[in-house]
Chains A and B, each alone.
Chain A
Amino acid sequence: MARHGISITAAHHPPAACSAAPRAVAAAVAALLATAPLMAQVDLGTEEQRAAGKVVYDKYCGQCHGDDGDGNGYATLRVKPKPRDFTTGKYKFRTTPNGMLPTDDDLRRAIEVGLPYTSMPGWPNLTSAEIDNVIYYIKSFSPDFENPDRYGEPIDIPPPLESTEESISRGRVVYEEQGCASCHGEVGRGDGPSAPTLVNDKGDPIKIADLTQRWTYRGGPTKEDIYRTFSTGLNGTPMPSYADSLEVEDRQHLVNYVYSLGDGDDPGYGTLITAVHAEEPIDLQNGEALDALFADAPMTRFPLVGQISEPGRNFYPSVTSIEAQAVYNRDEIAFRVRWNDLRADTTGRNSPSIDVPMWDEDNGIGGDAEDGAEDAADSGDFFGDFGGEEAPAAAEDDFFGGGGDDDFFGGGDDGDDFFGGGGGGDDFFGGGDAGSGGAEFSDAVALQFPASLAPEDTPQLKPYFLFGDSQNPVDLWFVNLTYGVADTFRGRGSDQIEPTEADIVEAVTSYDQGEWTVTYKRRRSSRAGVSFAEQQYTPIAFSVWDGFNRERGNKRALSSWFYVYTEPSVQQAATLPVLRAAFLVLAIELLVVFLVHRRARQRAAGADTAADAVAAAGAPAV
């Protein structure tokens, strides 16, 4: 049985055929009404097309989706969400009604465009014929594609309604009535109370869409895409179809509301923070004054990716971007960072120097079996960490639900064990911590600066962006969000991180509707670390840890080096130079006009006749 091909799938027909009589009648009626169009949709291609599709599939698709189409490829263990299992015939992004198979065009779109912020890229290099063939081959993995009953007509997607205030507020009402917030959160940041517990029908934990970041929508960022998702649901996930429960118009209002939650189709990633000058003192304890200070500071969004260069590799970081601002006055500089997190984890421990095993999530699978066994034994995810530094009592607490029934019903621990492959376990979004009300690791954030600026002759020189190197250390302004205070560390490499007391960094933190805000403050000048002089470009990098995703130590989301520019405190206003340029040009013009007139007058006076002057000055040019 080499492939789940046509011969096998035919065997699935008999059970369907011997279903009850009413269904047969219904089927007959349906057949009378719609046999022709439905049958026309069953297009499995020719033997040659599927064979050609297999060649494409084996080269480009099998490593994730599995050579047998079962979603089990080499990469599967280390990507979240998991690659589609084509044998199930379930597809999330379709134009067809809930539970139905996708159209060929739906599959084509997924292949051409990909799914943003997942491991499924678009494949613009494939030709149209190659995509056709690979679609035929993919369909051969599931018997459903032979069953005409599983085909549905694509839904109608009406043109979007104008996004008026009434429409948006009606959409908000629908959002509340339908309970969208219980998963997607009050303002759509994906932080609803149920968000940490969500799994798909295979039991894999899934991350809910953050409605405020449209560029991460798997199914596309347009209003049509959003409408389609409401109307078809995402098969195999808790996202239902509202085709039956909501009128078309209400769905359109909901589209306008959801659309209004985001601020663009594009993240607009930047490379520079401009620190603006303020006269006022920076008082971290006065929230209103602080907000006012930052209100005028430009905000820049930076991309975050998983740390995968050093042991403790993080293949699926929770947080994919962070926004940052900076303000300074005569003596001090303040940074504010914000990012979205589905839950505030403020009970556990965290630090940049916590040891993470070499193959944290991958024990026994993919990596060396030996490595896996070792990790499971000494510091695997689950038992290992508790057995290590924590008191045994703590381990019991968590494991047996000492923290209350919470733990047990949350299904978190079960999830971890159950889906966790071998030993260490697979704990993406939930795993051990889902629903337990308290994570083992807390959320945390760090700003990273070089400990000293590059010498002038080698301005490009920076410390290694992964926590520095032995020659060029970095300073980390680390905040464990359990405590909400800043600790400073000096990093000389990922395994050489030590606390320092050289500079006093203060911080205040808050978590509101799925968004963390951390504001730091330090004196601008420092003898031990970097000083922030005016008009200086200072390298800066970020790290974010999501405790819920069991991120700690080197297992984190990080950025590469960017810069903060300290804008001059005395800004040269543009008015003066602009006026100067205008008047200078005007003066030259008037001078020319004056000279021309004078010369003409002189000639008129000097020459015998005016005719001569005209001849000299105004000779026809053509």
Chain B
Amino acid sequence: MDGFNLPLLLALTAGGAVLVWRRANTLTWLLFSWAALWAFFKFGFTVPMPQSVATIYLGITTLALVCYASASRERLAEVTSPIVRLIREPRYRLPLAALLVALPALAAYNVHADMNVPLEAPGFGREVHPSPPATMEVHGETLDMATADNPYIHLHEDDPAAYEEHLENGRRVYYENCFWCHGDGMGGDGMFAHGLNPVPSNFNDSGTLPILQASFVHWRIALGAPGLPAGGTPWDSAMPAWEKFLTTEEMWDVNLFIYDFNGFEPRALGQH
């Protein structure tokens, strides 16, 4: 049930059960169905549905309910008769008056609320992991993105002591340069992260480092925001082009370190 608002679904189900128990009439069922769908579209998902999509769904649903209600003369009479009684019978005079006032008030409130939605800055889509170029140039050296790998990764097997040294150097580089934005624990929540838009990458996220090749991460480190294609909105990102500050070895070392710290491995070469 991930992605749904569970309490709301339970409440709606309970509402339905009450109607069954009370043997509600058709009109009540129709009104309840419409309200339940409205609430479901508006509050039913943890990630809100776009207003326009919700409106389309609700429109279609309304149409379907009207079709249902007017499918036969008998059902139409069944649906409209409570309304007619409400309007005609003197004992309902007070509820009718209340309804006559309440509906316009609701409409007025809705219009007022619509006109007072707080302004928001325009938002734009952004590719989080844009396609990398076929080759990249770092410190004057050309790398083939498809085949380039971390030159120290093999030390893990071949020379664990040397590997540890590279990791330690990566740790130094990270805590001298990266944690202000990417965070002490690499959650993308460093002390400057709240002032940046887009927010820095979260390396704890299993949807980030593990799906990227080491060469992709190297590309992002070495060329930073200025090296992004337009889809990645390079003008907004604060990621520096680290080749300005770091040696090639330091960049590969920090690349090793961020994978190691989070217990992830880069996506293997040629794996798509």
The answer to whether B108 and A578 touch across the interface, beta carbons within 8 angstroms, is yes
The answer to whether A75 and B175 touch across the interface, beta carbons within 8 angstroms, is yes
Q: Which residues of the partner chain A approach B180 to less than 8 Å between Cβ atoms?
A: 119, 305-306, 308, 315
The answer to whether B195 and A309 touch across the interface, beta carbons within 8 angstroms, is no
Stretch at the interface among A226-234, A250-258, A266-274: A266-274
The answer to whether B84 and A600 touch across the interface, beta carbons within 8 angstroms, is yes
Extra contacts besides A73-B175, A565-B119, A572-B115 (12): CB < 8 Å: A305-B195, A309-B224, A309-B239, A460-B126, A460-B233, A461-B230, A563-B121, A577-B111, A581-B108, A585-B104, A590-B100, A621-B82
Q: Which residues of the partner chain B approach A616 to less than 8 Å between Cβ atoms?
A: 77
- Known contacts A121-B189, A461-B235, A582-B105; decide if A574 and B116 are in contact (CB<8 Å): yes
For residue B220, CB closer than 8 A to chain A, the reply is: no
The CA-CA distance from A121 to B172 in the complex, in Å, is 18
The CA-CA distance from A9 to B158 in the complex, in Å, is 41
Which residue of chain A is the closest to B84 with respect to CB atoms? A617
For residue B176, CB closer than 8 A to chain A, the reply is: yes
Partner of A561, one of B106, B107, B126, B236: B236
Stretch at the interface among A154-162, A182-190, A463-471: A463-471
The answer to whether A462 and B235 touch across the interface, beta carbons within 8 angstroms, is yes
The answer to whether B244 and A600 touch across the interface, beta carbons within 8 angstroms, is no
Determine how close the nearest CB of chain A comes to the CB of B22; give it in whole angstroms: 9
Determine how close the nearest CB of chain A comes to the CB of B70; give it in whole angstroms: 15
Q: Which residues of the partner chain B approach A561 to less than 8 Å between Cβ atoms?
A: 197, 235-236
The CA-CA distance from A597 to B93 in the complex, in Å, is 13
For residue A311, CB closer than 8 A to chain B, the reply is: yes
Interface digits, A300-343 against B, CB 8 Å rule (1 contact, 0 not)?
A: 00011110111100010000000000000000000000000000
Task: Find residues 102-127 in chain B having any chain A CB closer than 8 Å to their own CB.
Answer: 103-108, 110-112, 115-116, 119-122, 124-126
- Which size bracket describes the interface of B in this complex? 35 or more
User: Would you mind naming 5 contact pairs between A and B with Cβ atoms under 8 Å apart?
Assistant: A63-B171, A309-B224, A458-B230, A465-B236, A592-B87
- Known contacts A305-B196, A308-B192, A622-B23; decide if A469 and B235 are in contact (CB<8 Å): yes
Partner of A581, one of B85, B110, B224: B110
- Known contacts A272-B119, A574-B112; decide if A596 and B124 are in contact (CB<8 Å): no
The answer to whether B112 and A309 touch across the interface, beta carbons within 8 angstroms, is no
For residue B240, CB closer than 8 A to chain A, the reply is: yes
For residue A197, CB closer than 8 A to chain B, the reply is: no
Interface digits, B174-193 against A, CB 8 Å rule (1 contact, 0 not)?
A: 11100111011101011110
The CA-CA distance from A617 to B83 in the complex, in Å, is 9
For residue A117, CB closer than 8 A to chain B, the reply is: yes
The CA-CA distance from A64 to B184 in the complex, in Å, is 9
For residue B248, CB closer than 8 A to chain A, the reply is: no
For residue A586, CB closer than 8 A to chain B, the reply is: yes
Q: Which residues of the partner chain A approach B230 to less than 8 Å between Cβ atoms?
A: 458, 461
Which residue of chain A is the closest to B242 with respect to CB atoms? A309
The answer to whether A582 and B104 touch across the interface, beta carbons within 8 angstroms, is yes
